[in-house]
Amino acid sequence: MTVTQENLRSVLRNVSAPVDTARGLPGWMFHDPEVYALEQERIFARTWVCVGAEDDLPRVGDVMPVEVAGRPLFLVRDESGYLRCFHNICSHRGALLVTEAGRRKVVACPYHSWTYALDGTLLKTPHICGQGIHDSPSLDKSLHGLKPVRCATWARLIFVNLDPLAPSLDEELAPLAERWAAYDFSLLRFGSSEDFLLPANWKLAIENYVERYHLPWVHPSLNGFSGIDRSYEIFGRLFVGVGSRKVTPPRPHGPLPIFPNLPSDAFERGEYPSLFPNVLVGLHADFLFAYVLTPDGPHRTKERLYVFFVGEESQDPRYAAAKAVMHKLFADINREDMGIVSRLQRGCASPAMPGAVFSPAFEKTSQAFQRMVAERLAAPSEPLSVGA
Ligand code: FES
Ligand SMILES: [Fe+2]
């Protein structure tokens, strides 16, 4: 269908109504390529998008290609250990520089061998003025380094923002950082990761994650150790989700190290917000997990799960079995979600789907996420400045 501003404003009005009369995003918003393209420009090109974890690039010289809003980018850990992000484009004729993760001393273009330092400085332009003449009087190398993209980290996750005018990541996450001030995220240590491919629109994965209404039917075992009767909702400008006052998963291999100095009511608490637009986080006293969602067209979403544990002590091999159990537990819950979200996708592809009705008790969170999407899509949008 042709997507118009009027359609989008009407969607926004419907989803912004009080929860008991609101209608969710209509089915076409979960499979229309025009909507997908708009989301890429109006959401993913303008917000802090999570692209991985620091542990994907642990050493100086590690590089990793990523893509945000259709722009090829790459991450690199520079000589001083600082993470940087650049447009993955050679300053000469625009060849893609990094096509797979690896380790480099410098970044050399495979086409004509223009070579960049890990901080993006253009170092060499071989034979540019003829055999053996490597410098050009008309080319000031200092003006032709790689184009940087804003890059910042939080809780070991790496975020990039194509919009040079957006507020900083710290500013955007301040309300959540304040909520979780008792947890010292500098203690997080990488545990494990796993990739999933969800045959559904990215928004469905999120609206499902942030409501607990489905637990008794889709996750009977989770509902056993973290029942919906113990749940509460969490709302912020850029995050929304649920919490559980008491999460008591089976621990056949004993306890794991926990964050120090937590208030006692945090020992068994779990909180599960989605950070707009593409991360699902789960925080507990003894571990934090994150699902990084990468939309791959309107019908498919790549998901990468990262699990982090607490403190150097958690790296001791005696905790390996307990960590593996925790990873499997939450990965299996995701597999249960993937099954039901795939069904949601197939239903939503029908033109007969006018938009969800919401449970006032449990789905104000899903409504709030859908509203975040609709607000950004319905807003008039200026083109980004060149270089973004
Ligand atoms: S395009 Fe990269 S060196 Fe020519
Ligand atoms: Fe679920």
Nearest atom of ligand 1 to the alpha carbon of 125: 3
Percent of the chain whose pLDDT exceeds 90: 92
Counting ligands in written order, the one closest to the CA of 93 is: 1
pLDDT given for residue 2 in this prediction: 74
Residue nearest to atom 3 of ligand 1 (CA): 112
Q: What is the mean pLDDT of residues 183-191?
A: 98
Which among 93, 96, 122 is the best mutation to test ligand 1's pocket, defined by most ligand atoms within 8 Å of the CB? 93
Per-residue pLDDT at 142 exceeds 70: yes
Q: What is the largest CA-CA distance in the chain?
A: 75
C-alpha span between 322 and 6 (Å, rounded): 53
Q: What is the mean pLDDT of residues 37-61?
A: 97
Among 2-11, 47-56, 115-124, name the one with the lowest average pLDDT: 2-11
Determine whether the shortest distance from the Cβ of 144 to ligand 1 is under 6 A.
no
* 274 beta partners: 240, 280
Counting ligands in written order, the one closest to the CA of 111 is: 1
How close is the Cα of 247 to the center of ligand 2, in Å?
15
How close is the Cα of 129 to the center of ligand 1, in Å?
14
Per-residue pLDDT at 388 exceeds 50: no
Percent of the chain whose pLDDT exceeds 70: 98
Cα–Cα separations (whole angstroms), residue 281 to 1, 23, 207, 211, 226: 34, 26, 13, 13, 16
Which among 114, 122, 125, 147 is the best mutation to test ligand 1's pocket, defined by most ligand atoms within 8 Å of the CB? 114
How close is the Cα of 116 to the center of ligand 2, in Å?
45
β strands within the chain, DSSP E? 49-53, 62-68, 71-77, 83-87, 102-103, 107-108, 115-116, 122-124, 148-154, 157-161, 188-198, 231-235, 239-244, 270-275, 279-283, 287-295, 301-310
Residue 220: closest CA among 336, 48, 138, 65: 336
277-294 confidence digits (pLDDT tens):
999 999 999 999 999 999
Domains of the chain: 49-154 (2.102.10.10), 180-353 (3.90.380.10)
Q: What is the mean pLDDT of residues 222-247?
A: 93
Nearest atom of ligand 1 to the alpha carbon of 95: 1
How close is the Cα of 100 to the center of ligand 1, in Å?
17
How close is the Cα of 105 to the center of ligand 1, in Å?
18
C-alpha span between 2 and 32 (Å, rounded): 9
Determine whether the shortest distance from the Cβ of 95 to ligand 1 is under 6 A.
yes
Beta-strand pair 122-124/115-116: antiparallel
Residue 337: closest CA among 230, 225, 198: 198
Which of helix, strand or coil describes residue 73? Answer: strand
Per-residue pLDDT at 61 exceeds 90: yes
Residue nearest to atom 1 of ligand 1 (CA): 93
pLDDT given for residue 387 in this prediction: 47
Kindly state the tokens that stand for 14.
Answer: 């419907």
Among 182-186, 221-225, 338-342, 384-388, name the one with the lowest average pLDDT: 384-388
Which among 86, 92, 96, 122 is the best mutation to test ligand 1's pocket, defined by most ligand atoms within 8 Å of the CB? 92
Determine whether the shortest distance from the Cβ of 189 to ligand 1 is under 6 A.
no
Beta-strand pair 115-116/107-108: antiparallel
- Using a 10 angstrom Cβ sphere, with 0-12 exposed, 13-18 middle and 19 or more buried, the burial of residue 197 is exposed
How close is the Cα of 89 to the center of ligand 1, in Å?
9
Per-residue pLDDT at 384 exceeds 60: no
* DSSP 8-class letter at 147: P
Mean pLDDT of the chain: 95
Contacts of 173 (CB under 8 A, 6+ apart): 154, 238, 275
How close is the Cα of 217 to the center of ligand 1, in Å?
55
pLDDT given for residue 227 in this prediction: 85
Nearest atom of ligand 1 to the alpha carbon of 97: 2
Determine whether the shortest distance from the Cβ of 275 to ligand 1 is under 6 A.
no
Counting ligands in written order, the one closest to the CA of 333 is: 2
